[in-house]
Amino acid sequence: MESTHRPSLPVSLLTLFLYLLLFIAKAQDLRKQKPWNHTVSAIYVFGDSTVDPGNNNYVTTAFRSNFLPYGMDFSNQIPTGRFSNGRLTTDFMASYMGIKESVPPYLDPTLSIEEIMNGVSFASAGSGFDPLTPRISGVIEISKQVEYFKEYKKRMELVIGKQRMENHIEKAIYIISAGTNDFVVNYFTIPVRRKTYSITAYQQFVLQMLKQLIQALSNEGARRMAISGLPQMGCLPIVITLNSENAIQNRDCIELYSSVARVYNMMLQNELEYMQLRLASHGFRIYYVDIYAPLDYMIQGRGKFEFDEVSQGCCGTGYLEAAFLCNPKSYVCPDASKYVFFDSIHPTEKTYYNVFQAALPVINMLISD
């Protein structure tokens, strides 16, 4: 009687066949998730709360967000220290580039060198280009962020060697996002800088500090950078609240703050164009990322962006709450995606995603260089 069973493959051949299937599936998955890894080795981030994924968790400061409702829409509803209900623009960038799904904070002691090798943020919420700004909140100065980057490079060198480390650093993308705190928290709130600088002089001073950061990173091997401009500062809920005669009834943007941002952004673009011309021969690429226009687009309700609330945050009253004032006992709106802002200062994940979408042309130029 003939056997009804099919002849079996030898164990070694079967194992090889299974490994081959697994390899093909994995390769397809990698092609799907990491289309740009042949040109971008890592993403490194410097700046303030717009790009801080949780470094302030490890700093003695009240300016933290490692508690709910922050992170309520993040993976597994984990409050990581991001000042939002979910991911940041840099997280979406890293995912789009095929590097990683989210950018971790450098100061997290639980991260291995393998976990931070392809991307890490040195940013600190509350920081700014003006050295005085981070001292107000007791957070990490920009110069210290650069020192952490140098420390990071040494750690990398011990693992992969100096030459590979330098190649890795050169093929990375560098994101810089800061400046809002310099004006909103520093210049317009405390009198120290206003006694010395006119607003124009202070804009030039902040730009000079930014140029020093760009030069410092260039000296460390950075070759591809994206620099964020200022947002529409006059439309931040906290700015409206503190500068309106009747902030509950009148939620119009404060033009003074927004005009300062527009002028600064023009000055910044001119500086970056000049730096690009001067350093292009050294393989240096630097791009301006406009966040003013996308935010204005969302707030004014034009185009495809639709929000129910554009002048107050999702957390608490939405007028003043941020950091510890937005906490597990705070009221939280039913759907954060209907809000431009999550607290009185910081955007929702949806807003950050829209900013990412608007920045795609710049991102594509960065990763194709």
Active site residues: 49, 343, 346
3-state secondary structure (DSSP) of residue 251: coil
Which two three-digit tokens encode residue 328? 């597990």
Strand order in the sheet with 173-177: 119-121, 43-47, 173-177, 224-228, 285-289
Q: How many CB atoms lie within 10 A of CB 86?
A: 23
Query: Distance from first CA to last CA of the chain, Å, rounded?
Result: 69
DSSP 246: T
Residue 302: name the closest of 342, 260, 354 by CA: 354
Place of tokens 């993403």: 43
Whole-number Å distance between alpha carbons of 262 and 259? 5
Q: What residue type is assigned to position 147 of the chain?
A: E
Whole-number Å distance between alpha carbons of 298 and 354? 9
Spell out the residues 6+ positions from residue 64 whose beta carbon is closer than 8 angstroms to its own.
56, 57, 81, 125, 323, 324
DSSP secondary structure, 97-125, as one string: TTS-SSPPBTT-TT--HHHHTTEEE---T
Query: Is the separation of the CB atoms in 94 and 102 below 8 Å?
Result: yes
Whole-number Å distance between alpha carbons of 350 and 242? 25
Q: How many CB atoms lie within 10 A of CB 158?
A: 11
3-state secondary structure (DSSP) of residue 191: coil
